[in-house]
Amino acid sequence: MKALSRFRDADTVHHIATEIRRLALDRPVRFMEVCGGHTAVIYRSALTDLLPEEVQLLSGPGCPVCVTGNDFIDQAVALAELPEITIATFGDLVRVPGSTRSLTDVRACGCDIQVFYSPMDALTWALKHPDRTVVFLGLGFETTACTLAATLAECVRSEIHNFRFLSSLKTMPPALRALLSSQKVAIDGFILPGHVITVTGLEVFQFIAREFSIPSVVSGFEPSDLMEALLMLCRQIKQDHAEVENQYRRVVRYTGNPQAQALIEKMFEPCDMQWRGFGAIPLSGLKLRPQFSCWDAENIPVEVEPTREHPGCRCGEVLCGIIHPSECTLFGSVCTPETPLGACMVSAEGACAAVYHFAPLSEKV
């Protein structure tokens, strides 16, 4: 486990925190992380305990489950109820509530829901079960989009026709641009998603510095990565400087992964997409190109119930960093991980779930 443990050393993390303190920023700063993976590490390691008070961390729209509206789950649930359909999904989606039901609920009624770690495993399953039509729920950002593109390319190449794809894939740069343009929340810097940028490269995020003059750092996922990224952000602030820096140099190349980008380009085209908390963001989603329409689950005729979001659910504001989860009146009372009303509470990376599960008692409001 040396590959991971080298970047988790407690002494290293403490010394970087000391260096951040030594910089002695002269004002409070708010840094937003836009990756559920970073949210999870920050809360699970309790990194904020080590930071000086003036450095505050905000969670942004980085959890793909959280930013996906109820309509996607409603459509998945409706498809699941068709007798010939097997829903293939990542585990992340199974407990997420739709307008009235989750995949867990319909599985209990006999619907066929199969959980896979890899879309390629789902394709292999489809090959072994030719009597079933497998609908894969495509959720995620660019990191996952390239794996889905690769699987779908193989599906097309092998002419496997009992495999379909329902897309809720989203891309990060348009969402960050929408967040910054909305000016809903003051942000002094971004911790950027290391694995998304492994795929996309840094260029598509340069607008953060060039157009908005906001510092940002691409971060890895170990505690010392995040600490180093925070130090780099603080140094940019101190030097009154804004650029997109790369902390995750051991993985992220400036140009990203060209094979991954090419496969996404080949299989998908940009489309407008609804984001919880933002509404419709133009060209922020990915859908299958028209020539692959026979693999597109959007074309399966099914009646979907009208979408309703829970009144009082403030996931949208949480996702924009406008409120802290504990400021939602439903938080911890009617909305809990056992009885989630919104995606932010049920997703393993949701900000609400992170605060509910991990925030020490002293932090609970």
Partner 1 sequence: MQRFIRRLFVDRFANPILSTLEDAALVSLDGDHLAFTTDSYVIKPLKFPGGDIGKLSVCGTVNDLVVMGARPLYLSVGFILEEGLKLDLLERIVTSTAETAIIAGVQIVTGDTKVVPRGECDGVFINTSGIGVIPLGKGLSDSPFASGDAILISGTVGDHGIAVLSAREELQFQTNVDSDCAPLNDLIFSVLSVSSAVKWMRDPTRGGVAAVLSEMVESKPYGALIYEADIPVRDDVSAVCELLGFDPLHLANEGKVVMVVEADEVNHVLQLLRNHPLGRAAAIIGHITGEGAGYVHVQTAVGGVRRLQRPAGELLPRIC
Partner 2 sequence: MCLAIPMRLLEHDGQSGIVEIGGARREVMLTLTPDARINDYLIVHAGYALEILDEDEAERTLALLREIEKYGS
Site residues (vs partner 1, CB under 8 A): 1, 4, 8, 10, 13-14, 36-37, 43-50, 63-65, 90-92, 94-95, 104, 114-118, 121, 125, 139-140, 144, 223, 337-338, 347-349, 357-361
Q: E strands within 116-243?
A: 133-140, 163-170, 189-193, 216-219
Choose the one of partner 2, partner 1, none that binds residue 150, judging by a C-beta under 5 to 8 angstroms depending on kind: partner 2
Collapsing DSSP to helix, strand or coil, 245 comes out as strand
Closest C-alpha among 270, 319, 335, 322 to residue 61:
319
Q: Which lies closer to partner 2 via its Cβ, residue 62 or residue 340?
A: 62
Rounded to a whole number of angstroms, the minimum distance from the CB of residue 253 to partner 2 is 8
DSSP 286-312: EEE-GGGGGGBGGGS----PPP-PPTT
- Minimum distance from CB of 169 to partner 1 (Å)? 13
The residue (of 106 and 315) whose beta carbon lies closer to partner 2 is 315
Least distance between partner 1 and beta carbon 26 (Å):
25
23 CB-near residues (< 8 Å, 6+ apart): 231, 234, 235, 238
Residue 47 interacts, among partner 2, partner 1, none and using kind-specific CB cut-offs from 5 to 8 Å, with partner 1
| Shortest reach from residue 109's CB to partner 2, in Å | 28
Q: Which does 338 bind (CB under 5 to 8 A by kind): partner 1, partner 2, none?
A: partner 1
The DSSP-derived string for 254-265 is: TT--HHHHHHHH
Which helix (H) or strand (E) segment is 176 a member of?
helix 172-182
Q: Report the 10 Å Cβ neighbour count for 323.
A: 16
The entry of partner 2, partner 1, none near residue 193 (CB within 5 to 8 angstroms by kind) is partner 2
Smallest distance, partner 2 to C-beta of residue 241, A: 19
Residues 6 or more apart in contact with residue 117 via CB below 8 angstroms: 90, 91
Q: Any idea what the Cα angle at residue 46 is, between residues 2 and 36, rounded to 5°?
A: 80
Indicate the residue among 52 and 332 with the shorter CB distance to partner 2. 52
Whether the CB-CB separation of 284 and 171 falls below 8 Å is answered with yes
Which residues of the chain form contacts with partner 2 (CB under 8 A)? 1, 3-4, 6-7, 11-12, 15-16, 18-19, 22, 35-37, 62-64, 90, 117-121, 140-141, 143-144, 146-147, 150, 153-154, 193, 195-196, 198-199, 221, 224, 228, 231, 247, 249-253, 257, 259-260, 263, 349
Minimum gap (Å) between residue 319 Cβ and partner 2: 13
Least distance CB 82 / partner 2 (angstroms): 26
Comparing CB distances to partner 1, the nearer of 71 and 225 is 225
Please list, in sequence order, all residues whose beta carbon lies within 8 angstroms of the beta carbon of residue 299, skipping any fewer than 6 positions away: 293
Of residues 120 and 180, the one with the C-beta less far from partner 2: 120
250 binds, among partner 2, partner 1, none (CB under 5 to 8 A by kind): partner 2
Do strands 279-288 and 268-275 pair parallel, antiparallel, or not at all (unpaired)?
A: antiparallel
CA distance 264 to 57: 32
Selection from partner 1, partner 2, none that 114 binds (CB < 5 to 8 A by kind) is: partner 1
Q: Do residues 315 and 325 make contact, with C-beta atoms less than 8 angstroms apart?
A: no
